[in-house]
Chain A
């Protein structure tokens, strides 16, 4: 059973067995527009919660993607290099960025669940 949590910066993290897959939300990709380049962290990199983890470049601007929780990068989505548009087409699934081995699962408690995030973006508009 996986748990999904969201940040105020529009990252999502889906956690299963101590590993969290990270991406950006549909709201974020919609705001960014056409994604043309994604710069991913190195596998093995150690990130603290809130650290700059990746950069997503759209035709409009470059935006940072922050680590939703602390951990070590154990995998990254190499397919985004050739097909960055996957972030637009499938932000919550095939457009994932990297996988973290969580350092402190308790950090998840400070993030929003699906319902809270839905309300959060509703209040932004």
Chain B
């Protein structure tokens, strides 16, 4: 794809003005880092507050055809309990295929007004496929309204609440995975206390034409710095959070991906989600492989695709799905799938990097403790 064919977000001009290095990502031109670089941005987010442009992600409302509640409809596609989601609450869930594989992971929010709508945020790379799938599969019961004219920003870090609270005081009343609608200088904002860094923070959906002014106002605060996709990746990896298309995809189930908590108890009993038979069997018998954290024993970085062997190096028992340098750990970290018998934290492994076997160990996730406000 040529650079000309890339889509841009409403903050494109701002990224350029801030000196961002732009790269193609999921069909968009996105900032990978700004002038300070990935490590400095990562550390800034862990110590103060980082502003992320995630407007490339897919936003939509799901509205019931009868004007009541679309939750029962979307439950046909996901294993989460959406019907019992209270107004002003959000939940992480996954769209499943008929084999129980993960089509995408997404956030579902029941708006605070309980106006019969669910607000969905899906991954950029698969948003068109997701929205087509949801529309088609639920055509009898619900209508999907894409929100392509909205921007999505994330403000993450220990100073996020204080900073955003100066502009929108009511956000300080939210706890993790709660949402509210607010207004700033007449601009409607849909805000949730959530994120993808392991830090406290917020995601803010707002009209595209107000996004730059809002972002510039946040950036005027001395605690706020812009953060690119590079640090977004190292932050989420340290937090043990999955990246769709890498750590989870159509070939991995939520059980293998260690996302069992996202399969609601009530849904297990009803066994009424796609791939339920396979997933419930894995729950009962244990999966053959499982997603784990991996700590390389030296400073060599194990990138995605690195073969994982047993401690003696004799047999390939898995593969790294995300790997990089963790600035807060000050060392290399990775996630990947290994045979379940070798998935306990502390289990010795070997990583095959550039033809050499290097010692590593299974590590508990997250690498850096979550600091959500509950």
Contact = CB atoms under 8 A, between A and B. Distances in A.
B300 A60 contact: no
Interface string A65-78: 00000000000000
Given A33-B33, A37-B325, A57 B234 contact: no
Interface core residue of B37, B299, B303 (most chain A CB under 10 Å) = B299
Contacts of B325: 34, 36-37, 57, 59
A37 B38 CA distance: 15
Nearest to B40: A34
A55 B38 contact: no
Q: Is the interface of B mostly helix, strand, loop or mixed?
A: mixed
Nearest to B42: A59
A34 B33 CA distance: 11
A81 B299 CA distance: 8
Contacts of A60: 32, 38, 230
Contacts of A84: 299
B215 interface: no
How many B residues are at the interface, by size bracket? 10 to 19
Contacts of B332: 36-37
A39 B300 contact: yes
Interface string B307-338: 00000000000000000110100001000000
A57 B301 contact: yes
Interface in B274-320: 299-301, 303
A43 interface: no
A62 interface: yes
Given A33-B33, A37-B325, A55 B354 contact: yes
Interface in B1-47: 32-33, 37-39
Contact of B230 (A57, A59, A81): A59
3 smallest CB-CB distances across A and B, nearest first, come from: A36-B325, A34-B39, A59-B38
13 contacts: A33-B33, A33-B37, A33-B38, A34-B325, A36-B299, A37-B299, A39-B354, A55-B354, A59-B38, A59-B234, A60-B230, A62-B301, A62-B354
